[in-house]
């Protein structure tokens, strides 16, 4: 069975961690993940500059529900002043339990801002930045990163050791380089190398799409916890299956009910119009792999209201 993990003074009841995913890991999806038993849920990453300049939209992304603890909020940024400011904001003005810092995001917009995986290019600066953040806040700080910027510059072991030396309390490691983006195969052997090089918890991430993958990554790497990302989009039941340690059958009706629950929670949080705009993409994931679902996915992309979604879900089951 999944085991208890401690990150600083925060105890996770099991080692199943839900990844921070842009456009997905909002309060609605986190509540679903928590209800399915996740040991830790993580917010989608927020910009240090947005918090520094008082963005109300970004501040609204930093609200958490009383039932989702422990919860980690993720920051990205490059400049020490604004990262420290944003860290203090999360520390003092939100109810998050852990402050996570992103050194793994591969998208061009983030790389151009010298943030995300860009920071892996300069271990000395990454260390200085995290030293400043760790000493500015009271909550434990974790870092999510990749194995390196590209295959010629795999430096995750040295970076993990540097981060541990300044007080970072956990490392989540995606077993791909920035250059791989989300393509190719995750190189789990580097997760093992980092696990053997540090004494803080290591969270393995990358290519976990089944309960067997959940067991395999732990067996191969010795990681303390497993972070699941894209494998649960449209199939959050995988969280529950990993927590229970075995694959279970989930009916079409359960998938449709979960999609509806996701939409209604999102509407309660963001309003129906914004929720439906997001669900046009998300709802189609709930149909992934289901028979005769192509036309229903197409209808999801054009829906205008919760009523439209309800009709689509009902029609699929009839």
pLDDT for residue 1: 53
Residue positions counted in the chain: 318
Instruction: Tell me if residue 129 falls in helix, strand or coil.
Output: helix
Report pLDDT for 280: 92
For 74, 142, 182, 184, 223, the CA distances from 200, given in Å and listed in that order, are: 19, 10, 26, 28, 10
Which among 263, 71, 285, 8 is positioned nearest to 61, based on CA atoms? 71
Half-sphere exposure of 158 toward its Cβ, with a 13 Å CA cutoff?
11
Q: Is position 105 annotated as part of the catalytic site?
A: yes
What is the per-residue pLDDT for 129? 98
Of 3 and 308, which is predicted with more confidence?
308
Alpha-carbon 289 to chain mean position: 23
Q: Are strands 10-12 and 202-205 parallel, antiparallel or unpaired?
A: unpaired
Peptide bond into 246 cis (omega under 30): no
pLDDT digits (tens, 9 = 90+) for 208-251: 999 999 999 999 999 999 999 989 998 999 999 999 999 998 98
* Residue 186 pLDDT exceeds 90: yes
Catalytic residue among 105, 242, 259, 300: 105
Span 40-56, average pLDDT: 96
Q: What is the value of pTM for the model shown?
A: 0.94
Q: What tokens does 278 get? A: 């997001």
């Amino acid at each position: 069975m999944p085991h208890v993990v401690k990150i600083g003074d925060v105890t996770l009841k099991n080692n199943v961690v839900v990844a921070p995913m842009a456009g997905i890991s909002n309060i609605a999806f986190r509540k679903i993940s928590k209800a399915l038993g996740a040991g830790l849920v993580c917010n989608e990453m927020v910009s240090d500059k947005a918090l520094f300049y008082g963005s109300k939209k970004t501040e609204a992304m930093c609200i958490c529900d009383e039932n989702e603890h422990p919860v980690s909020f993720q920051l990205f940024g490059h400049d020490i002043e604004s990262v420290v400011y944003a860290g203090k904001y999360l520390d003092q003005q939100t109810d998050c339990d852990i402050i996570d810092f992103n050194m793994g995001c591969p998208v061009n917009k983030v790389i151009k801002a010298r943030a995300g995986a860009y920071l892996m290019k300069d271990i000395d600066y990454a260390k200085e930045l995290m030293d400043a953040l760790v000493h500015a806040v009271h909550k434990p700080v974790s870092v999510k990163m990749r194995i390196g910027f590209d295959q010629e510059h795999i430096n995750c072991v040295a970076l993990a050791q540097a981060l541990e030396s300044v007080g970072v309390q956990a490392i989540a490691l995606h077993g791909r380089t920035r250059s791989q983006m989300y393509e190719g195969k995750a190189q789990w052997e580097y997760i093992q190398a980092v696990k053997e090089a540090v004494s803080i918890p290591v969270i393995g991430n990358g290519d976990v799409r089944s309960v067997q993958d959940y067991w395999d990554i732990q067996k191969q790497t010795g990681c303390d916890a497993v972070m699941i990302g894209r494998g649960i989009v449209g199939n959050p039941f995988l969280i529950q299956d990993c927590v229970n340690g075995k694959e279970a059958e989930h009916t079409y009706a359960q998938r449709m009910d979960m999609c509806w629950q996701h939409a209604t929670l999102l509407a309660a949080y963001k309003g129906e119009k914004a929720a439906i705009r997001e669900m046009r993409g998300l709802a189609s994931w709930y149909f992934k792999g289901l028979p005769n679902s192509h036309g229903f996915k197409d209808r999801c992309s054009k829906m205008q209201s919760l009523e439209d979604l309800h009709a689509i879900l009902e029609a699929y089951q009839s």
